[in-house]
Structure 1
Amino acid sequence: ASSEEHAAMSSTTTTTAEAEVREPGFAAAYSRFVVKRTCCAFWLSLTVTLLLSAVGIMIAMQDAQAKGQSSILSTQTQYDWTVTGALLMKQKDMVDSALGGRDSLSDAATAVAERSEEYNPRYAFNMLYYWKDGRQEHMWTAETLQQMCEVENVILSTPGYEQVCLNATVVPFLSSLSHPPGLELRASFNGSSGVRCSLPHMSAVSLFYQQYEEPAALADDKLFEVFYGASQAKAPTQLLSEVQHTRDCALLDEGYVEARRARLYELALTSPELRAQIGFFLSSAALEDEAAPRTVATRSMISFGSPLPGFSDENDREEEQEQLVEDWALKVEQRLFDHFNMQKGLFYSAYRDPA
């Protein structure tokens, strides 16, 4: 009996195994079909994909028609590529387009004198001056201004400065104002090369190392008084040193510095416009106490001129001009490191040394 049962079990097991082999699943059957009929499988898959795509497009078109659209795409406008359709963004696009095409509207291209315009602001030297020990005292003193003057002379005396210096006759952002005859930015002049370099106008040094000017010569304009001349007695009579394009950093009269400083604070408190212009040189809380204003930090910016010699405008071979400025700036960087005795090592940047 046991032999018969064993035979029956074996027979049943064999029958079941044969049934499993004879009835493979869909995945196994399709795999065999792909292997044996590769070409047919490709065309079958492509046909099914196209049919499904067609059905999807038909559904999308029906949905668009139900929403009142004539196409599955939204109506095309000239602002398809803006991030937002806000009115302000559209107006900005129109202004940019107008500025971009203004040159083509002129009868003839206007030549730009070399270095007569300010170069891209990102290519400028920005210096921040503050007390190392954190003292809350006036930053504008005769001694500190002399030190600032000497630091900026490192830049002005770097070989090649004549090729990149700004040669402006008026402060660029004040060029739209009518200037009195003869009123222009102080400048240095190289008699042998004929190169003129205007002294940096956005420098804290320029606010004080400024020759005396009568109010009438400044057209009684407060902005002109800030950037073109000082109306205080004992203002320096000599601005330039014997070295080409550098300042005479003689120690200023302390009485003059105090008077000029008080006048600049007074002007800054006169109007929002003057506060914004002079505020560039002031610490954040300098004018909070209007009775006793005091800046504990100040800054300077030395801009380059554009276009550089040999170029027609700032867009002429732009990358080449940028490379020339960058190469010269690297020379200045090393000279500043040497001036402040800032040392670098194999894994140590000179910028980690305090100036």
Structure 2
Amino acid sequence: MALIHPRSLERWQEWQNSRHRARQIKHTVTGVFRRRGDEAASSAPGFVLHSREGDAGPRLLIGLDSTSPTSRASLLTALPYVRRGVDVLAPAGVDLPELSGSDWTHQNVAIPQAVLRGLGIGSVITLGWHLEVGRIVHEWALAEEISGAVVQHGALTPFAPPLPPRITLLAWSDADAEFYRSGRQDIETRAVGSQLLWQAAHESEDTPADLEERPVFLGQMHGAELSRRITAGAATTFCRAENALYRPHPAETDALSRVAHSVMARRGIEFQDSAIPLHELRGPVVGVFSTGVLEAAVRGLPAWVYGPRTPTWVHEFWDRYGMRTWGGDPTPAPVQPADEPSRLIAQILEGAG
């Protein structure tokens, strides 16, 4: 199976907007009240351009929409290996400690396109163009005929957003590259590995020999890919059968997720504090299609997937990543590249532009 929308970002957004209607209505209503109560702030510039000087030649532009650990691991960990000048466009008000040193300057901008043209940028890189900063960066780069790249930052399902036109995809593997490309001829691919998993593998020596026995089930009710009937149902069935702890995803804060949590608690399921970092887990890990299963496996923890009545694409997903189902041998640790993915990404970017 390939992407459901391999080319049209608009059709993908329509599909995304059709999911979890109640959550979107809540966000729309709260957004209206937030705008009414913060009209003065709305006139302030919405972006910050962080800049660092470097070797002579074309500069690199990084478009960053999120400060999540996966976003920062995928994009900002390459900075120590980049010798050319770098600009990072990000939303205003986000905390980016990687850009806080004396080498960096910071400029508030309202219309990024008006500022970018005079910087001497020769290449751009993002996690995609499905969010605001990424869309700005890639549309500008296409108009200016500047080379672009996208870094894969998570395990891929058929519901991943389509890639921007005429970019180089820096994928975790050749299999992921072909899956994400989905037959498009305007996309070049390079397999560089996953920085997230590479970091997890190099932290695995801290895994204790005396592992806890009680499994932890990773929540995914927030995801648009599967209905809560499947994700909450799998979690409830597994936790009750195996006396497992349920770990809510940090995004499980909407009303429907909270109702599901209450029902699970009434059925005797205990919860793990999701504030505990994943890398601090010390026991078996189970999920439906979570990247956390791969992170646990690469750290040396026993890890499985579990999902009764899941659609065919989920089983294809498990096969592509070598995930093993509960009841058999645990998921083997994903093979890691010889060199750090961020270093490889920097080398590719240094050769672009």
What TM-score, normalized by structure 1, do the two folds share?
A: 0.24
Q: Which has the higher contact order (CA 8 A, sep 6+)?
A: 1
| Structure of higher CA gyration radius | 1
What TM-score, normalized by structure 2, do the two folds share?
A: 0.24
Bigger fraction of residues in strand = 2
Bigger fraction of residues in helix = 1
